[in-house]
DNA sequence: GGTGAAGTGGGAGATAGTGGGGACTACTCT
DNA sequence: AGAGTAGTCCCCACTATCTCCCACTTCACC
């Protein structure tokens, strides 16, 4: 199981390429073969799944009931904007322009390790999202993660 | 299970390296393989987890549902400031600059054994934190924490 | 005081990030 | 169909940073 962590900012060159952070690469399972699937995130960002983890996502999606409207909507809008990527010989990825547009990624990209997957943000958009998070919330997060209590997943 | 104790102050060299206290090293489980994960602490300090202890944290994180907003926030803001470290041949660790900045660590670092993990402070910041705590309060805290009664953690 | 471990400092090679040139492919427009 | 163009991928090159290795100092314990 991969365990991506940390935050890495890299610049995007004129050809739309970004260096894939070396430390995240070290967390890649060999199964992933340096191949990824990238999709629209729920916030204005992108989710980058290594090949092996994507299998789990697919599996989850396959369990969705297609005969409910909700199910179809979820599935459709998730898969619709999914694209396969892989690292080039310099360990870079080329971000598809329709996705960078969606995430408003411009010039620079921030990679956030999220355990099983990776989020990709525009630095400024991410900073805006951070502002919404006050100190109390951060404290609460800590307690959730570190306490012995099972995590409360309610919204 | 490791049991870190004691307080050790070491200087940080120009490259951001600090000697890992020898006595703490002796408390390391062989499982840890001299590898660590370091994260932002709740106070202005850093938490240093040996590899084997970090597994417990990871396990906790893996239970969080990524498809809820709260879950994502928790995971994102926790993992974001986490980094893997390991001892070099001289038994030093290199403290990442973004983390030393957060903890206002400058020139010197204090290692505090905290049982399962280790806290890393700037000496001056630690002194300030100590001052903020008067003796009566300390007494009271001790009573609460050490009693057999479940601790009321409300602030 | 000698010996060894612990802590500190710096040089050199390796690695990561960044940028650009050039070949190949695929698609489009004439 | 052929030529032009956009896009992709590979290679090379430069720079900054990190990491490994060696060396010196200090302290503690015999």
Is the residue at A150 inside a domain?
A: no
Instruction: Return left, alpha or beta for B6; rule: phi > 0 is left, psi -120 to 50 is alpha, else beta.
Output: left
Q: In this structure, what CATH number is given to the domain that contains residue B79?
A: 3.40.1550.20
Q: How far is CA B137 from CA A32, A106, B43, in A?
A: 53, 51, 18
Note down pLDDT in tens along chain B; length 155 residues: 668 999 999 999 999 999 999 999 999 888 877 899 999 998 999 999 999 999 999 988 888 888 788 888 888 999 999 999 999 989 999 999 999 999 999 889 999 999 999 999 999 999 999 888 777 777 888 888 888 766 555 55
Is the residue at B38 inside a domain?
A: yes
B111 touches strand C (CB under 7 A): no
Q: From CA A101, how far away is CA B147, in angstroms rounded?
A: 57
Which segments within chain B are labelled E, that is strand? 7-11, 17-19, 35-40, 46-50, 83-86, 92-94, 108-114, 117-121
Is the residue at B88 inside a domain?
A: yes
State pTM to two decimals.
0.88
Is the residue at B45 inside a domain?
A: yes
Is the residue at A144 inside a domain?
A: no
Range of the domain at A115: 7-124
Closest chain A residue by Cα to residue B75? A114
Cβ atoms of B62 and A150 closer than 8 Å: no
Domain count, chain B: 1
Does the distance separating the beta carbons of B68 and A42 come in below 8 Å? no
pLDDT digits (tens, 9 = 90+) for A51-104: 999 999 989 888 888 888 888 888 888 888 899 999 998 999 999 988 998 999
pLDDT at residue A152 greater than cutoff 90: no
Closest chain A residue by Cα to residue B38? A6
Q: Nucleic chain C: which protein residues 2-21 of B have CB below 7 A from it?
A: 8, 10-11, 13-15, 18-21
Is the residue at A28 inside a domain?
A: yes
B29 touches strand C (CB under 7 A): no
Is the residue at B42 inside a domain?
A: yes
The SS3 of residue A64 is: coil
Residues in chain B: 155
């Amino acid at each position: 199981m991969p365990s991506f962590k940390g935050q890495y900012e890299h610049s995007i060159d004129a050809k739309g390429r970004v260096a894939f952070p070396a430390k995240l690469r070290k967390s890649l399972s060999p199964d992933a073969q340096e191949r990824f699937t990238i999709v629209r995130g729920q916030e204005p960002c992108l989710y980058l799944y290594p090949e092996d983890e994507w299998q789990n996502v697919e599996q989850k999606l396959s369990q969705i009931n297609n005969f409910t409207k909700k199910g179809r909507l979820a599935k459709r809008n998730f898969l619709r904007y999914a694209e396969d990527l892989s690292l080039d010989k310099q360990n870079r990825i080329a971000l598809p322009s329709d996705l960078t547009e969606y995430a408003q990624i411009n010039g620079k990209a921030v990679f956030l390790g999220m355990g099983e997957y990776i989020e990709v943000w525009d630095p400024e958009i991410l900073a805006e999202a951070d502002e919404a998070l006050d100190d109390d919330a951060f404290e609460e997060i800590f307690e959730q993660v570190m306490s012995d209590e099972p995590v409360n997943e309610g919204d």
